Amino acid sequence: MTRWRGAPLALSISMAAGSVAAQESAQPPEPPAEDPAASVEFVKCKGLDVAETERLLRVELAVIAARVERARAPNVRIECKKDVLHIEVKDTASGGMKALTLPAPRVNTPDRERTIALAASQLFLSSWLEMITGNPAPKKSPPRADKPAPPAPAPPPVADRGAEDGYRPGPTGWEVWTAGALNFRHVGNGVRTLSPSLMLRRRFPRSWLAEARLGWETAESARATGAIDWFAGSAGLGVGVRAGSRWAFIDALVSSSVLVVRAAGDPKVSGVRGAERDAAAFDLALHLAPALALSRFRLALVGQLGFVAPTVTARSPRDEPVSFDGPWAGVGIAAGGEIAQ
């Protein structure tokens, strides 16, 4: 391809500034301002009709100039390199420049000049805000990755059913219980005693229980000649297990206690003299206590079965003897609470 370098040609481009809005009163339009000149440079463009290309480019640039209030004449450089067409548009005032590279139309292609003129004008049109007003076009900021939403706050711990303070018993703890029971000593022909008691219970992991207990019993057996008053104190230890949930459970314990029993005669007829007798015995018992828990407070029913040995018997003249020993049963109620973990 032979080189042809054309000198800068002056284009007279109509880039008039003014208002295009119609007014209510009919007045003659103001004459257009003097057109600024644009410079066009062609490099290595073999067989290109320069005059036709300049004319078509002038028409396209005039359309663009009508869109803005202030006109400028750009410098346009068109370079043909084999199969590539390189176009540069430069604004003389701001110094901004835009370039475009695209496949060049062939030499014998129809409308070659129009294709080049359209390419140059479209390059200018795509950035006319920056090239004509001198203000850079707003840049689109790259999309930012959305920040992950903060994790939802953890829900507050659910309190036990009926627990006002949200108390949760741990795997271990100390409990104090008081109980009142009606015991039937020597079932069938024995003594009915009222028995208050106090228990200190320790809860271990895996629901194991250990207990220390103190008790007191009192009763009166009526006889034909008077009455026999019974008093008994007990102290013992127990082990067991707890089954159920935090708010409803059942305790099952086996206890062994030492009993100290006193029987005192209270005669009601003349000629009969009362006497006192003390005895010690061993008591082995099973305790079952279904319970409800309300925070630290517990309320339970108590059922008991046991056996007392050796024999503890009180005799009365003219009447059958009364026994405290042997098998026995009891029912009662207990209340307690947790005092420490």
The pLDDT value recorded for residue 66 is 60
For residues 14-28, average pLDDT: 35
In this prediction, residue 326 carries a pLDDT of 92
pLDDT score, position 185: 92
User: Which range among 140-149, 188-197, 217-226 shows the weakest confidence by mean pLDDT?
Assistant: 140-149
DSSP string, 264-302: EEEE-STT----EEEEEEEEEEEEEEEEEEETTEEEEEE
CA atoms within 13 A on the CB side of 197: 30
The CATH architecture to which 9-18+33-133 belongs is 2-Layer Sandwich (3.30)
Strands 37-43 and 9-12: antiparallel
- The domain defined by 173-340 folds into Porin (2.40.160)
Domains of the chain by residue range: 9-18+33-133, 173-340
The predicted structure's pLDDT at residue 5: 36
Residue with tokens 């022909």: 189
Residue 206 pLDDT greater than 70, yes or no: yes
